[in-house]
Structure 1
Amino acid sequence: MDGLATFVKEEFDLDPFNNALFLFCGTKMDRFKALVWESDGFLLFYKRLENGRLLWPRKDSAAKLITQTQLKRFLQGFPLSPSVQPATIGAWY
């Protein structure tokens, strides 16, 4: 747990003691850890998927701020980033 908290601080310059949940995905993308600070210590969640893989944004190396709704949908198997990009409107004349 302390290693994850140190990683949050050193790699992303974020405060692991604030009111935030930090997610970490395994290399196989079939498991993740969640770290959160409570008033008296860190709480670590660990989940391994029985079937399937997480739709984790591998090309983004930076931390992402997500909403509770995005977290809920992610845990249900939806990707954090939309797979369809919005269309741009161009001149058609």
Structure 2
Amino acid sequence: MIPVPSGVRVWLATGSTDMRLGMPGLALRVQETLGRNPHAGDLYVFRGRRGDLIKVLWHDGLGMSLYARRLERGRFIWPSPADGVVALSAAQLGYLLEGIDWRHPQRTWRPELAG
């Protein structure tokens, strides 16, 4: 799990990204396409074309980290490119990483009585 500190902003890069890109290529994409500073401490999340792989780019002040997550089944829920850059909360990022629809998380039903 990514140790997301409180107050960190999470940005989704809508559309698909070439997953062959590493830290320098994704940082350049953040700078040129998203118009943001990749070294500012925010998390940037990218999804591949098939939808089962995401990469998270993060600069924590000491260095840049690149995290990857692949789903065994299913696809990550992703906004359309028309939405532009989408901001998420840390809780929504947790849902996304678990493969849960972060836009409309559903509470599971729990019984109120044992019998």
- Structure 2, unaligned runs of 5 or more: 1-22, 105-115
Contact residue 56 and residue 80 of structure 1 kept, 8 A:
no
How many residue pairs are counted as aligned between the two chains? 83
Partners of 1:52 and 1:14 lie apart in 2 by: 30
CA drift of 1:40 comes to 2.7
Task: Note if 1:69 corresponds to 2:91.
Answer: yes
Contact residue 54 and residue 70 of structure 2 kept, 8 A:
yes
| Identity in percent | 32
In angstroms, what is the RMSD of aligned CA positions?
1.8
Give the TM-score, by structure 1 length.
0.78
Partners of 2:53 and 2:37 lie apart in 1 by: 24
- Corresponding residue number in structure 1 for 2:107: none
Partners of 1:32 and 1:53 lie apart in 2 by: 10
Contact residue 32 and residue 47 of structure 1 kept, 8 A:
yes
CA drift of 1:61 comes to 5.0
| Cα distance change on mapping 1:81 and 1:72 into 2, 3 Å | same
For residues 56-75 of structure 1, give each alpha carbon's deviation from its aligned partner in whole angstroms, at most 9, with x where no partner exists.
11344521111111111222
Contact residue 77 and residue 100 of structure 2 kept, 8 A:
yes
Higher relative contact order (CA 8 A, sep 6+): 2
Partners of 1:75 and 1:32 lie apart in 2 by: 9
Give the TM-score, by structure 2 length.
0.64
CA drift of 1:22 comes to 0.4
The structure number with the bigger radius of gyration is 1
Query: Which segments of structure 1 move beyond 4 Å, counting only runs of 4 or more?
Result: none
Partners of 1:19 and 1:44 lie apart in 2 by: 13
- Corresponding residue number in structure 2 for 1:42: 64
Aligned counterpart in structure 1 of residue 43 of structure 2, from 21, 25, 42: 21
